[in-house]
């Protein structure tokens, strides 16, 4: 059996940076297929690889079925009045720091963001969920999925 730990931390394959850091640029160069052995290689690779790929396909299908995906030409930057309103309320909160640190003020700010942005997206404010970055968005969507796994045995 190959020493997978050493292969995944080989400086000749993965560059001089710390191998424990996520550096996306190191994946630009082409490498041998066996340089990363997450599921093993060959005829005796991990049986979980097919399961993981099927699980990924099910999550993607569920996301596409549940949510509306807008085409790129329909999306544009939010109007300036949305940004101005949010800045106004942020300035009010900065002038009143006691309110800023209270949880109810943060909840009120989030409700306000939903109310202002829901007019822009033409939806009910309660249906609008605002997530600050893509990773958080995908993680929270995947956590909310109620997937049922069916394992079929071939006889």
d(CA 107, CA 72): 31
Residue 155 is assigned to a structural domain of this protein: no
DSSP per-residue string spanning 50-70: HHHHHHHHHHHHHHHHHSPPP
Which structure tokens are listed for 117?
A: 């942005």
Residue 23 is assigned to a structural domain of this protein: yes
Per-residue pLDDT at 75: 54
φ, ψ for residue 101, nearest 5 deg: -85, -5
Residue 57 is assigned to a structural domain of this protein: no
Residue 70 is assigned to a structural domain of this protein: no
Q: Is residue 39 domain-shared with residue 93, that is, in the same domain? A: no
**90 in helix, strand or coil?**
helix
Q: Is residue 137 domain-shared with residue 90, that is, in the same domain? A: yes
Per-residue pLDDT at 47: 77
- Domain that includes residue 12, residue range: 1-46
Q: Is residue 88 domain-shared with residue 134, that is, in the same domain? A: yes
pLDDT in tens, the chain (155 residues): 677 788 778 888 777 778 778 887 877 778 776 777 777 777 777 778 788 888 888 888 888 888 776 655 555 565 566 667 667 766 666 666 555 455 555 666 677 767 777 777 777 777 766 665 566 666 666 666 655 444 444 44
Given a contact cutoff of 8 angstroms between Cβ atoms, the answer to whether 118 and 145 are in contact is no
Residue 87 is assigned to a structural domain of this protein: yes
Q: Is residue 94 domain-shared with residue 137, that is, in the same domain? A: yes
Given a contact cutoff of 8 angstroms between Cβ atoms, the answer to whether 113 and 130 are in contact is yes
Residue 84 is assigned to a structural domain of this protein: yes
Residue 154 is assigned to a structural domain of this protein: no
Give the number of other CB atoms < 10 A from CB of residue 78. Answer: 13
For the chain, the domain total comes to 2
This prediction has a pTM of 0.33
Q: Any idea what DSSP says for residue 150? A: -
């Amino acid at each position: 059996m190959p020493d997978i730990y050493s292969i995944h931390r080989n400086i000749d394959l993965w560059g001089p940076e710390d191998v424990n850091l996520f550096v996306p640029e190191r994946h630009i160069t082409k490498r041998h297929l066996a340089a990363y052995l997450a599921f093993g290689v060959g005829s005796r690779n991990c049986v979980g690889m097919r399961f993981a790929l099927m699980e990924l396909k099910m999550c993607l299908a569920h996301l596409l079925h549940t949510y509306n995906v807008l085409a790129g030409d329909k999306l544009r930057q939010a109007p300036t009045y949305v940004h101005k309103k949010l800045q106004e309320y942020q300035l009010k909160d900065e002038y009143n720091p006691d309110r800023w640190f209270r949880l109810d003020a943060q909840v009120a700010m989030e409700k306000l963001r939903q109310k202002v942005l829901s007019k822009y997206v033409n939806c009910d404010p309660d249906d609008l969920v605002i997530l600050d970055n893509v990773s958080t968005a995908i993680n929270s969507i995947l956590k909310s999925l109620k997937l049922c796994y069916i394992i079929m045995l071939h006889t």
